[in-house]
């Protein structure tokens, strides 16, 4: 059995730069051929929440599992990887090329705290499925108040 690489982190701010993304979107609007290498394309995804967990499904056909990386902390998840194009035939040309290739990255801020040590991920038929267990916050503590 092979595993998808999952890396745990405490540094949410390092996981993405809002300025970088805004700049990339601005240039991409002016010239659709322009893009920063890290944001070549964004795969579609679904996020489903139950009382106990968050389930994320990412649509990434044509991506090898070895080219995927997950980075997780209690508040966010970073999904990144790359899709490599097939070599084109020598004596031909594209009439239409809509499939996006290259590096991708999705950073998701989660609506609730999750347990980074209780995460599973599987990859089958072009779908990456990530199961994140929520942290329970039902424990309460009484704090004594001193006179000083």
Give the bridge partners for 49, in sequence order. Answer: 54
Q: How many domains does the chain have?
A: 1
**Residue 145 scores a pLDDT above 70:** yes
- Is the pLDDT at 117 greater than 60? The verdict is yes
User: Which of 9-23, 47-61, 78-92, 100-114 has the lowest average pLDDT?
Assistant: 9-23
CATH of the domain at 59: 2.60.40.790
Q: Which two tokens stand for residue 110?
A: 């989660």
pLDDT in tens, 66-92: 999 999 988 899 999 999 988 877 888
Residue 19 covered by a domain: yes
Q: Which structural domain range is residue 108 located in?
A: 6-84+100-134
Q: Has residue 147 been placed in a domain?
A: no
User: To which residue do tokens 């209690």 refer?
Assistant: 74
Is the pLDDT score of 142 beyond 80? no
Domain assignment of residue 22, yes or no: yes
Q: Is residue 116 part of a domain?
A: yes
Please indicate, yes or no, if residue 89 is contained in any of the structural domains.
no
CA separation, residue 60 to residues 17, 100, 117, 140 (Å): 23, 11, 25, 42
pTM of the shown model: 0.67
18 part of a folded domain: yes
């Amino acid at each position: 059995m092979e595993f998808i690489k999952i890396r745990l982190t405490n540094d949410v701010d390092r996981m993405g730069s809002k300025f970088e993304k805004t700049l990339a979107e601005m240039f991409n609007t002016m010239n659709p051929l322009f893009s920063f290498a890290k944001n070549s394309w964004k795969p579609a995804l679904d996020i489903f929440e139950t009382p106990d967990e968050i389930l994320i499904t990412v649509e990434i056909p044509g991506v090898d599992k070895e080219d995927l990386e997950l980075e997780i902390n209690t508040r966010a998840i970073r999904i990144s990887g790359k899709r490599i194009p097939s070599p084109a035939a020598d004596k031909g040309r594209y009439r239409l090329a809509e499939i996006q290739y290259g590096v991708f990255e999705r950073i998701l801020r989660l609506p609730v705290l999750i347990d980074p040590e209780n995460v599973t991920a599987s990859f089958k038929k072009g779908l990456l499925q990530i199961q994140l267990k929520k942290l329970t916050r039902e424990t309460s503590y009484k704090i004594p108040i001193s006179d000083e």
